[in-house]
Amino acid sequence: MASTMKTWEYLYLTDPESELGPENETIVETDTETYTERDLEEHYLISREASIMAPAQEAEMNDNGKVGPHPSYIQVAKPYMLEQHIQECLVATGVTQAKEDNIRMLGVAWIDNVRKALQLPVRTYNTACVYYHKFRLSHADTEYGFIDAAAAALFMACKVEDTLKRSKEILCAAYNLKLSPAEHVSQDDPMFESPSKTIIGLERLMLESAGFDFRNRYPQKLVIKLAKFYKVDKESVGKKAYYMSLDLYRTFAPLKQTNATLAFACLELSGRVLGQNIPNVEAASDYANWHITREEVMETLLDLLDLYTHHRTSTIVGQDLALDIFIDTRIILNQEASSNNYPRYTHNSEKKKKPSNGTKATNGTNDVKATKSPVSPSDPSVKDSRLSSTMSPAAVAGPKGRAGVKDGTIRFMLDPERAREEQKTVAEYFKVEEEEYEVEVETERRRG
């Protein structure tokens, strides 16, 4: 047997291009099976010293006897998120509301300051803020520094929006903001070497958090078009609405609403706070043409007013107006929401909750509590059991987002229909079928 296999090995190594046919096949017999030269060529690795050949390892079979693909997780990119989902993610990360607001404001402010220093366009700022928010919804704040996350988001946004900047260039611009022009350092300084590697490492996690979705929205262009269409004063109402569209990215509203909803909300609020109301916008007569509703615009208006009420000094518009103006505007919108039974957050699938004090919520609705988000659990390790159906495995996993993924991979898709079809096909191989049957066993009685 060994000599026959050595002869085949010699023929194959001396003339590997030769075509093997039935007429010149050499039969190699073993104790259990019979192989031809063609079989050996397809299924075995031949080495010069090999004298024994082992068959290839067969694929493992499932419990139902079928050989199928390995299970994997499919994460479909979500261009929009519901407020309910956002709050569930924040609870899963175990962050308190005060800390979340603080880190969100600081991160967006860092992105805004650095992009101005680098003279990057507004679209890069929009994209960076969205990636920063999505990253923080998937990873706990204890796993990274918010400056590193903001820098990685801006670095990734520069690639997506084709405004390329090196990671060291971004870090250098941020460092030079704290120095006088005479003390500015170069981007090739060795101090940026280690932070640059950190940013590049976070970029992969940033891509996973965004679902490899590069579809982004920019409401500023539509704000300008609507201001021209409704013939508002561009120096007062138009400019203020534009600045509000920038402040809007300090909230989660860009993750929830379309461009039209964001643009109408900014234009309406700009007119209200300046005392130049726009009746055609407030009447919601053109909403149907943009496939939006008054409830969605009202939610965005209240998100903006929450920002200007609680974090006025961290915004662009809030510093120019008094706090009483925003409070008065909020009261008027609360009355409208209460009279029309508008929910605070649209498309919310949770059961309606009544405030514990027996009064209406501060925004004039009855479906959610007056607090801006659910209270974080006392133990951050305790997760909501409902998250497994709405969040990706990486988001509901343990530390570093990998503890929950033991075997299998996470695959990212943009088409939800394709993901459903694939899951339906793969599910046939992993059905758990159980059968119950009774077996009679004869037992002998013990003699006492």
pLDDT tens by residue, the chain, 448 residues: 444 444 444 344 444 444 444 444 444 444 444 555 555 444 444 333 343 333 434 444 544 455 555 566 777 888 888 898 899 999 998 888 889 999 999 999 999 999 999 999 999 999 999 999 999 998 988 888 899 999 999 999 999 999 999 999 999 999 999 999 899 999 989 999 999 999 999 998 888 888 888 888 899 999 999 999 999 998 999 999 999 999 999 999 999 999 999 999 999 999 999 999 999 999 988 999 999 999 999 999 999 999 999 999 999 999 999 999 999 999 999 999 999 999 989 877 655 444 444 344 444 444 433 333 333 333 333 333 333 333 333 333 333 444 344 456 777 888 888 888 888 887 777 778 888 888 888 877 766 5
Q: In three state form, how does the secondary structure of 141-160 look? A: HHHCCHHHHHHHHHHHHHHH
> Residue 186, CB half-sphere, CA atoms under 13 Å: how many?
3
- pTM here? 0.69
Contact 158, 114 (CB under 8 A): no
Phi-psi domain of 400 (left: phi exceeds 0; alpha: psi -120 through 50; beta: other): left
Residue 275 three-state SS: coil
Determine the Cα–Cα distance for residues 30 and 51; give it in Å rounded to an integer.
12
Report yes or no: 195 and 147 within 8 Å, Cβ to Cβ.
Answer: no
Interatomic CA distance for residues 11 and 197, integer angstroms = 52
Both tokens assigned to 165: 């900047």
Supply the pLDDT for residue 432: 80
Chain position carrying tokens 């967006």: 108
Q: How far is CA 188 from CA 163, 168, 199, 200, 244, in A?
A: 20, 7, 16, 16, 37
Contacts 24+ apart (CB under 8 A), 170-175: 170/114, 170/118, 170/199, 171/195, 171/196, 171/199, 173/114, 173/117, 173/118, 174/110, 174/113, 174/114, 174/117, 174/147
